[in-house]
Amino acid sequence: MLKKLFGTLSAVALAVAGLVAIPAAISPAAAAPPGEAFDPGLIISDSVFFDFGSMDVSGIQAFLDSRVSNCRAVDPAIDCLKSIKVEIPETPATTPQEIGPCSAIPANPTASAAQVIYSVATACGISPKVLITTLQKEQGLVTSTKPTEYMYRAAMGFGCPDSDPGICGKVYVGLFNQVYRAAKQLRWYGNPKGSFTYWKPGRTVSMRFNPKS
C-alpha cells in the first residue's frame, strides 16, 4: 500500500497545479493557491488525476532538467533523476484479476526517468504530473542533486506501509518497479470494485479533521 495516501493526494493537488509541460523556455512554477481556496471535499479532480496525456516525454524531461542545475552524483547507477538510465522490462498487460488496469509496456534496457514516467502514465492511465509529484513527496528525487540507492529503492513509497516502515526499500525495489506498482495501486484506489470498502469512489464519506492538524 502506498504510504500516507491522503498526504499524497494533498501534495499532488498542490504540485500538479503548478507543474506544466515545458517545451522550450522554463517558466517558474505557479504559486500554491491561498488557504481559503482549499476544498477538502475536492482535493484533486479525476480529470486531472487520470490525465495521462498531460505531458509527453520531452516535456517531462524538460521539467526534470529544470529542477536540478548542478548534479553532484558520481555513480551512474544512482544518478540524478534527470540523467539516470534504468531498465524497463517487458511488462504484459494486467489481467482482470490483477490490481490495475495497465496495458502492456515494451522493454527498454536504457530508459530515462522521463521515459519510465511517460510509459507507466500512458499504460496505466495516470497523470505523469501525479507520478512526478509522488517521486518528490516520497524521496525528494526530482530535486535531489545526489540521490542515494535507497531513494531509488523506495522511490514512490510503494511497499512502505505505516504499520511496518522497516520493510520499506526491501521489496518492489527500483525506479520502474516503484513507479509501475504505485500507478497500478492508484488505479485500484479509483476503482469502486477494488478500492477500500469504506472509501469507495462515487460515495460521499464524512471524515473528521484531527484537532491537532
| Coil/strand/helix, residue 121 | helix
Answer whether 84's CB lies under 8 Å from 175's CB.
yes
> Residue 168's pLDDT is what?
86
Give CA separation, 199 vs 155, 204, 207, in Å. Answer: 26, 9, 10
Give the whole-angstrom CA distance, residue 114 versus residue 1: 24
| pLDDT tens, position by position, 44-93 | 899 999 999 999 999 999 999 999 999 999 999 999 999 999 999 999 99
> Residue 178's pLDDT is what?
96
| Coil/strand/helix, residue 136 | helix
Quote the percentage of the chain above a pLDDT of 90.
55
